[in-house]
Structure 1
Amino acid sequence: MAGFDDGKQQGVEVDFSPGAQIPLSGSSGQTAVTQALASAAYQDFPVQKLVDANDAAAVKPPKLSLFEPNLGEAYARAVQVRMLGGARAPLIQSFGTDPQVIVDHCLAASRIRKARDARLTAVMMLLGVLFLPGVLIWLLGFQLRRWLAGAQDKRAGAIGFAALALLAGVVILAAIQLPVNGVLAIYLRVMFVAPILGWFLAKRISERYARDLREFWSGLLSGGGPGARIPEAVPQDPNDEEAERLRKALVKLAAEQNSNIVFYAGPKGILGMGTRWGSWQLAEELTPAAGVDEINPFRSWDVIQSIHDQLRMLERGPLHTGGFPTPSIRHWVVSPVPEGAKGVSRPEGQEVSSFQVRDHEIQRICNEQQFGSGNRHYLGVQFVLWDGQLVLTLLITVTVLHHTLRIEVTGHALGPVHPLFTTKPSPKSKQVSKTVKFWETKSVPLPLVDAKEVVRLAARAPLTWFPPVLDYLGGKLALPEPFGLRHSWADKPWRHRFMADDALRAATPVLRVVHSAAMKVLAENGVATEKFGARSQFLSGQVQGATPGKPDEYGL
């Protein structure tokens, strides 16, 4: 049914009819990670920090560094194109987050920047086109400084500053002693001064919108803040094709997020759920119980259904303690893809509707597709903890080969997002020595938008109306594939003691419920349960000393 491909979009029929939208999944317990990932759309860090958070991401080098984007600009555009594009490749589900909220904030951040760029473009048109030679000279000076400064070389930076100062001196000298007179002389003098006036106007505009972007950034990471405003997603009239296209893309995103198909990529684990850290197997021979001539025929689905019903009682216990939160219990179809696959393909056909494999097909896979190629069935118990920072998934599968019944429980864990996404904005300042008590230092506030940033924003502004041109000149962010908002930026949970404890503690009660439910089905169908019971007791003792490992690598 499903496999891997080179990232090309597969045709899938999705119901995009208008009407009331019912939330497909609850958002409780997912707020922190959702807001952290959304805050990246407003950040003003260098884009390289995002690449450092995941080596699989990359930045296409700019042709001219004057046009390169910062982190927020590159992230917002890349996420919009990847998740809402008409010909986009399939996505990996983002468990523990609400991807639509993140995309909404990317759209909102782009809207704020578009309003800023409209004003900067007006300044560039007014003072740039009329005095184009002077603007080009100043831009050449700033680009020359960037070339000389490099990335981190302070000496080259000093040389670049000296070169810019020299250029300014030459410009002033030329403006004072011009070889021409009259109107042309006045124009040439104004041509050199007008860009400076435009710079001051651009600085005021840039600082105003920088404060707005930082307000959203800080508000999201503080647990509140204003919501995303995207009026372009609301059709203004029946012929508003752009708003309708955006609405359909958001509906498709929500449907794909709720898909019951996941992908197993070898040592990478199940994409979106994390790597497999533990595995416990109960496998014994099916023999008739004493006094029973023949086992009553049953199927794997009967055992799975019994386990499913018992798992619904996980949050209940004999003592009045906090205990388990209500878990998400779902039937999953797991499709294998190679470890290095650059894309996945979701199944299509009569057995699939809106990215969902139908119930009767899930039951068929559970009963019949247990050996050889093809997809497999797993029953999943998922806990979203720590406001979405920890996603624990325990998967149960039942197979029957010849006279052997095997029940396997595997643990998967997806840890917190990279600290980059939870870094709050801080006031820009620098430490300098005091005038009198020179052995002491003091903090001096710096402008929110410095000179070179103003020039970068003003230079980019007219090109923001032509995104392909801006991507070519300034470069763009290439997201890690197969892409999912949550797993692409997740760390391992084992460095956080309490998160690791939660992962280890969840396995024991789930394993016991699974074994108890399976024993009940076996006993009802005349199967001898002594061997199963002994094996279950052994596993029950083994899981109490569970330590995370790498079972997907099989020690090879």
Structure 2
Amino acid sequence: MVTADVFDFSPGAQIPLSGSAGQKAATQALASAAYRDSEVAKLLDANSEWTVSEVKPPKISLFEPNLGEAFSRAVQLRMLGGGRGQVIQSFGMEPQTVVEHCLAANRIRKTRDARLTAVMVIFGLLFLPGVLLWLGAFQLRRTIAGSKDKRMGALGTLLLAALAVVTLIFLIKLPFDGFLGLYLRGVIVAPVIGWYVAKQISERTAKNLREAWDGLLSGGGIGAKVPETVPNHPGQTSAEELRKALHKLTAEQHSNVVFYAGAKGILGMGTRWGSWQLAEDLVSADPGKEIDPFRSWDVIRAIHDQLRMLERKPLHTGGFPTPSVRHWVVSAVGEGAKSVERGGTSEEEGFQIKGVELQRICDEQQFDSGDRHYLGVQFVLWDGQLVITLLITVTLLHKTMRIEVTGHALGPVHPLFTTKPSAPSKTVSKTFKFWETKSIPLPLVDAKEVVRLAVRAPFTWYPPLLDYLGGKLALPEPFGLRHAWADKPWRHRFMADDALRTATPVLRVVHEAAIGVLKHHGVDTERFGNRSLALSGQVQDVAPKKADLYDA
């Protein structure tokens, strides 16, 4: 492999780590969650102000999934499952890459679980009484150790050690001979041998998962291999269905229909932190003439052309990167809405509203119910960790024209997703220099984790039962990968500066383009110019506001 754009067709296609340049950090951070082995409850710490994830508790704690297992399965079902609801766009990242890494992580675990299932059949099913005895002991220890009282946790460990001693005595002083005696000894010994074999399998898989985790956050590593999308024979339909599901996900990602959820702002873009409105009457520059007719679309088109040149500057210095300038259709939904529906579009149309329909919404749907048109200029900065969006709308009501510019900012993904794996270790006192300590490395997979993986393995062939016994991750709705775990940008000084600095030049470009259109159509622009100068002073306020929270 020379570059990430080269494909490896053995046994599955090599998937690039990110579909767009400059958007790798957020994508790879979220994709790394598929390979993590920490507790699933830690994901709750990453809940954002827009959405809240939940973890459904297990019926039996031995079946409880870890973070990577729960995340991979939940994201795969939500993004690719049949009959799923529509998803929110993930600006600043490529959601398909995250989903593909979830598929790849599940495939690695599936291979491990197949081997662990064989171990459970050979060393467990044939010696079932002993396995049940050991599992009962581990479950008892896990239940007691889960107590907040540290003494109860120590008691669980003591009980497990006592069982091991009693088992050893029973093994030596067994009162039976012949086949029954050999079988009873096998009942005691076989689960221990099976545990050791399972530990080797689990260790190798844990190492592979952690290498993928570290590779993503280090900016290296290979992309996810998803052989499930490559059919093995002409009659295989599952690969084609998966390919279509990934194609639909990409189409939704590039949709120009977004949803305004009250105080939560535009889902996927973040809350509205600033709003600047220019509203004046349309008066003819020549009292003896009428104003030349024009539409909102004429003003929007002029603003669109000027915004595309934002990266140009009179001085040879650093400045704006090339922004994304798009026409958006905004649909209003309730703040507590659990689902969204892109009305008027279809999968075949790529979930897009464009052409004549887009112009109609811009010119006619400015009042009362219905979708609204906005022109958006979006900057994806900090390697995809910061998304700044400024939306412009033009309304013409009676003799008044209103030009509104609103600022939206979506911050970096939660720091939980950017932490690299660390080798397990414990700190102990030195033997002779007891006042000094040293760090002792621990195995990647401890005894209780081997038991958990071995117990779960046979049930992975029917995931709904495993979800019932072990609980699962409930994703927030309406769901979008980016805003579900996004942090506020205002905690990062430079990110906050970038968001605040962007508004002033954009506002001035918008006003300049709009006033140019008004002059061309014979409108007196003196009041518009005065109001524009006043807004240019207001936009330089150093503090963001909560523009969606009205004090009423």
Question: Shared topology, TM-score over 0.5?
Answer: yes
Bigger mean CA offset, 154-163 vs 525-534: 154-163
Q: How far apart are 1:223 and its partner, in Å?
A: 0.7
Confirm or deny: 8 A CA contact 1:292 1:526 kept in the other structure.
Answer: no
Alignment match, 1:444: 440
Alignment match, 1:528: 524
Confirm or deny: 8 A CA contact 2:338 2:477 kept in the other structure.
Answer: yes
Given candidates 29, 49, 70, the residue that maps to 2:22 is 29
Q: How far apart are 1:358 and its partner, in Å?
A: 2.8
Alignment match, 2:9: none
Answering whether residue 38 of structure 2 is matched by residue 42 of structure 1, we say no
- Segments of structure 1 that go 5 or more residues without pairing to the other structure are 1-22
Given candidates 42, 46, 52, the residue that maps to 2:45 is 52
Query: Which whole-Å CA distance do the structure 1 matches of 2:238 and 2:402 have between them?
Result: 53
Query: Which whole-Å CA distance do the structure 1 matches of 2:19 and 2:308 have between them?
Result: 17
Residues 151/321 of structure 1: CA separation in 2 closer, same or farther (3 Å cut):
farther
Query: Which whole-Å CA distance do the structure 2 matches of 1:541 and 1:120 have between them?
Result: 67
Query: Which whole-Å CA distance do the structure 1 matches of 2:215 and 2:347 have between them?
Result: 44
Identity score, percent: 72
RMSD of Structure 2 on Structure 1 (CA): 1.5
Deviations 1:42-83 (A, max 9, x none): 011100000221171111111100010000000000000000
Q: How does the TM-score come out when normalised to structure 2? A: 0.95
Alignment match, 1:494: 490
After superposition, residues 363-378 of structure 1 pair within 5 angstroms as 363-378=359-374
After superposition, residues 55-454 of structure 1 pair within 5 angstroms as 56-150=52-146, 152-290=148-286, 292-348=288-344, 353-454=349-450
Query: Which whole-Å CA distance do the structure 2 matches of 1:26 and 1:383 have between them?
Result: 17
Alignment match, 2:13: none
* One-letter amino acid of the counterpart of residue 46, structure 1: E
Confirm or deny: 8 A CA contact 1:34 1:99 kept in the other structure.
Answer: yes
- 1:140 is paired with a residue whose SS is helix
Query: Which whole-Å CA distance do the structure 2 matches of 1:413 and 1:319 have between them?
Result: 27
Bigger mean CA offset, 350-359 vs 413-422: 350-359
Q: How far apart are 1:238 and its partner, in Å?
A: 1.7
- 1:373 is paired with a residue whose SS is coil
* One-letter amino acid of the counterpart of residue 308, structure 2: R
Q: How far apart are 1:26 and its partner, in Å?
A: 6.0
Query: Which whole-Å CA distance do the structure 1 matches of 2:128 and 2:35 have between them?
Result: 32
Answering whether residue 518 of structure 2 is matched by residue 518 of structure 1, we say no
* One-letter amino acid of the counterpart of residue 256, structure 2: N
Confirm or deny: 8 A CA contact 1:351 1:358 kept in the other structure.
Answer: no
* One-letter amino acid of the counterpart of residue 130, structure 2: G
* One-letter amino acid of the counterpart of residue 520, structure 1: G
Confirm or deny: 8 A CA contact 1:351 1:357 kept in the other structure.
Answer: no
Confirm or deny: 8 A CA contact 1:124 1:198 kept in the other structure.
Answer: yes
Query: Which whole-Å CA distance do the structure 2 matches of 1:444 and 1:165 have between them?
Result: 22
Confirm or deny: 8 A CA contact 2:277 2:404 kept in the other structure.
Answer: yes
Query: Which whole-Å CA distance do the structure 2 matches of 1:341 and 1:225 have between them?
Result: 39
Query: Which whole-Å CA distance do the structure 2 matches of 1:350 and 1:74 have between them?
Result: 31
Deviations 1:476-532 (A, max 9, x none): 100011100000000100010000000001001100000000011000100000000
Query: Which whole-Å CA distance do the structure 2 matches of 1:373 and 1:121 have between them?
Result: 57
- 1:377 is paired with a residue whose SS is strand
Residues 544/136 of structure 1: CA separation in 2 closer, same or farther (3 Å cut):
same
* One-letter amino acid of the counterpart of residue 388, structure 2: L
Query: Which whole-Å CA distance do the structure 1 matches of 2:246 and 2:289 have between them?
Result: 58
Aligned residues: 533
Deviations 1:362-385 (A, max 9, x none): 110110001111110000000000
Q: How does the TM-score come out when normalised to structure 1? A: 0.94
Q: How far apart are 1:546 and its partner, in Å?
A: 4.2
Query: Which whole-Å CA distance do the structure 2 matches of 1:262 and 1:284 have between them?
Result: 29
- Segments of structure 2 that go 5 or more residues without pairing to the other structure are 1-15
Residues 132/75 of structure 1: CA separation in 2 closer, same or farther (3 Å cut):
same
Q: How far apart are 1:272 and its partner, in Å?
A: 0.1
Alignment match, 2:459: 463
